[in-house]
Amino acid sequence: MDRPEIILAPGPTPIPPEVYLAQGSPLVYHRGPGFGRMLREVTEGLQRLYRTGSDVLIFTSSGTGGLESAIANCFSPGDPVLVPLAGYFAERFAKIARAYGLDVRTIDYEWGQAVKAADVAAALAKVPAKAVLLTQSETSTGVVHDIESIAQAAKDAGAMVVVDAVSSLGAVPFDFDGWGIDVAISGSQKALSASPGLAFAAISEAAWAAQAEATNPRFYFDWTSYKQSYGLKDPESPWTPAISVVQGLQAALRLYYQDGPEAAYARHRLLSRAIIRRGSRAGVDGDGHPCARGHRRRPDLRHGAGRRRHHPGAGPGAAQGQSLPHRPSRVLRPARHDPRPGRRRARAGQAGIPGQAGRGRGRRRGRLRLRGVGPCASWSPSRCRSVASSCCARTSRSTSDRSSPGVTWRWRSRRTTRSSSGHRPRSRPTSSRRPRT
């Protein structure tokens, strides 16, 4: 059996053992009181995370499904919306709106730049729009936009504010009521460290009023069906939900609130600074001004991240107008036990090629150390303080990948003696016995 992977992607993120155990526990009937109690607890936990007293609905889908639910419920064909484009997922939001027949107007930014409230205000003053579709944390560039000031500019112009908070909710502060947000979408597999499969939507009273007037077709994502089912004595989902994922989300929220949001925000800032500092030393500048970079769980370290050519056209890091061959995400695989406290060795591999990373001899080896980042640093601080003082990752890269473009690091390679064939000779134990003749 292949060693487990330590994922270094924005999501899905590593899952704590408690969440795995919860997902593996016996299922509860989704029309019974047990599921109703669980759904009520999860909904209240998400309301606390959003900082809202408004309704929060949970869908069995990815975050993209949650975004589609916002477009399907709040708008009618031909409604004008404004979308600031500063990355791949903002462009996806615009594509969903166009698919439902909305009149999409854009503000185009160079990828890596932050959206400015003044630009949004100027665009709305020139041509009014029913809503502004925003992305808080642009996963493809790592930039966190100032949603508070942008939302204020949109509200001053009389527009609704719909926010994609899929990769930001739980990692950076979010104040749904305080910022005047109308709809905010997030997902289970990002900062909350739960399994993929659930999307959440926080919905204001103004959004409910818009939903009553909207004429876009909807069925599975009809908010009214969910609200009616949540209003029962034992709350339930209108359709069969991913029960095991909801059980895991319940456990993930309990872990999250053991230390609280502020501790999570501080941990993400630490991880962000560590990655940016180490990447800068190696010549990986990243996207965006340092003041605009996001404090997400992890930056996107896939093929050429931080470069203008950094992703395939079908993937979430594709540069504007480019279509490149797909390259898999970088991951780490645990290699062997390290008896030193607070340390763990790992090997660098590629997702989608199980078992091939680090095999054989004659590999290029190096060492990367991030102070303050432990092997379980993506989990609750109370569970990883004993190992979060330092983390040592030993990585290797197969010879077939040396000429391939990818993330560039300055490795401090170990000096070894190699034979003419390129392999390092094995050391043989000394023996006092004479060879047999």
Write the pLDDT tens digit of every residue in 399-412: 333 333 333 333 34
**In the chain, what percentage of residues exceed pLDDT 90?**
57
415 within a domain of the structure (yes/no) = no
4 within a domain of the structure (yes/no) = no
Instruction: Give the model's pLDDT for residue 278.
Output: 83
Number of separate domains in the chain: 2
Mean pLDDT of 10-22: 91
382 within a domain of the structure (yes/no) = yes
39 within a domain of the structure (yes/no) = yes
**211 and 281 assigned to the same domain:** no
Give this prediction's pTM: 0.71
**237 and 269 assigned to the same domain:** no
Whether 323 has a pLDDT exceeding 90, the answer reads no
Instruction: Give the model's pLDDT for residue 281.
Output: 81
Mean pLDDT of 54-67: 98
361 within a domain of the structure (yes/no) = yes
**365 and 218 assigned to the same domain:** no
The percent helix, strand, coil of the chain (3-state, each to 5) is 30, 15, 50
428 within a domain of the structure (yes/no) = no
**168 and 231 assigned to the same domain:** yes
Q: Are 143 and 114 in contact (CB under 8 A)?
A: yes
At residue 311 the predicted structure's pLDDT band, cuts being 50, 70 and 90, is very low
> Helix (H, G, I), strand (E, B), or coil: what is residue 198?
strand
Q: What residues make up the domain containing 73?
A: 13-256
Q: Name which residue leads in pLDDT, 196 or 378.
A: 196
**187 and 97 assigned to the same domain:** yes
Q: Are 198 and 121 in contact (CB under 8 A)?
A: no
**119 and 203 assigned to the same domain:** yes
**214 and 360 assigned to the same domain:** no
Q: Which CATH number characterizes residue 138's domain?
A: 3.40.640.10
412 within a domain of the structure (yes/no) = no
90 within a domain of the structure (yes/no) = yes
**314 and 366 assigned to the same domain:** yes
**316 and 362 assigned to the same domain:** yes
Whether 288 has a pLDDT exceeding 60, the answer reads no
Q: Which amino acid is at 40?
A: R
CA 75 to each of CA 102, 140, 156, 161, 219: distance values in angstroms, whole numbers, following the listed order? 8, 27, 20, 12, 15
**236 and 279 assigned to the same domain:** no
**247 and 186 assigned to the same domain:** yes
**225 and 288 assigned to the same domain:** no
